[in-house]
Structure 1
Amino acid sequence: MDKDRIFGTAKEFAGKAEGAVGDMTDDKQTQASGRVREAAGAAQDLYGQAKDTVRDAADTAASYAKDAYEHRGETIRSGQKAMAQTVQDNPLGSLLIAGGIGFALALLMTRQPRRPPPSRWRYYG
């Protein structure tokens, strides 16, 4: 748990208490100060929650990356087996997909460079 979450919750609680005291004494300034402190505490608590979430996501991503790196050979072999099985199950579809990818690459490699559009005004001077 992040310290911002702890301090934010404490500020929020103190703001609620200050607002309640302002309500009991009918003091508008104390009520407003309590609401401001409560809002600041809530914001600090949300900031702490966001930091915790980012930290957890980074730890999870690092864990996945480490696992993938450690088991990279198994991952590649399983991917190759899955690809071979897919080609065996549907050879015509695989051939069409490979041909489409080759056609798209050929179009990209042989594409003419773009020329600027002709200008509307010609200078005859």
Structure 2
Amino acid sequence: MDTDRIVGAAKDYAGKAESAIGDMAGDSKTQASGKAREAAGTVQNLYGQAKDAVRDATDTAASYAKDAYENSGDTFRDGSQAIAQKVKDNPLGALMVAGGIGFALALLMSRPARRPPTRWRY
């Protein structure tokens, strides 16, 4: 719990008490001062709640990022094992896919060089 929440709640209750005393005494100045202190306490309490919410959100995000980082090796290993199992199950299909990828890469790398545009001679 944030200190702003504690101080804000204390100001809120003090403002309510001061406002009630002003109501009983019939003093509008004390009553207005109590309402102002109550409003200030409410605002400070809300500010503390917002800080707590942001802190909780950052802690949660950091926890998720840490878990993802720690489990990334397991995910990579599981993916590699799944691919290896697919190759074992269907070696001809894997060979065809690898050959297709190699052929596409060869086509991309062996394109003729681009010629500069012809210039007009006068």
Q: Is the shorter-chain TM-score for this pair beyond 0.5, marking a shared fold?
A: yes
| Residues 40-79 of structure 1 mapped to structure 2, 5 A cutoff | 40-76=40-76
Cα distance between partner residues in 2 of 1:17 and 1:79? 65
TM-score (structure 1 length as normaliser): 0.60
| Residues 25-40 of structure 1 mapped to structure 2, 5 A cutoff | 25-40=25-40
Change (3 A) 1:66 1:8: same
Question: Which blocks of at least 5 consecutive residues in structure 1 are unaligned?
Answer: 82-125
Give the fraction of aligned pairs with identical amino acids, expressed as a percent: 69
Residue 15 of structure 2 is matched in structure 1 by 15
Cα distance between partner residues in 2 of 1:39 and 1:76? 55
- CA shift, 1:32, in A, is 0.4
Question: Which blocks of at least 5 consecutive residues in structure 2 are unaligned?
Answer: 82-122
Cα distance between partner residues in 2 of 1:64 and 1:46? 27
- Give the counterpart letter for 2:55 in structure 1: R
Change (3 A) 1:79 1:6: farther
Q: Give 4+ residue runs of structure 1 displaced > 4 Å after superposition.
A: 76-81
1:88-124, CA deviations, whole angstroms, 9 ceiling, x for partnerless residues? xxxxxxxxxxxxxxxxxxxxxxxxxxxxxxxxxxxxx
1:24-55, CA deviations, whole angstroms, 9 ceiling, x for partnerless residues? 00000000000000000000000000000000
Change (3 A) 1:78 1:42: farther
TM-score (structure 2 length as normaliser): 0.62
- CA shift, 1:73, in A, is 2.5
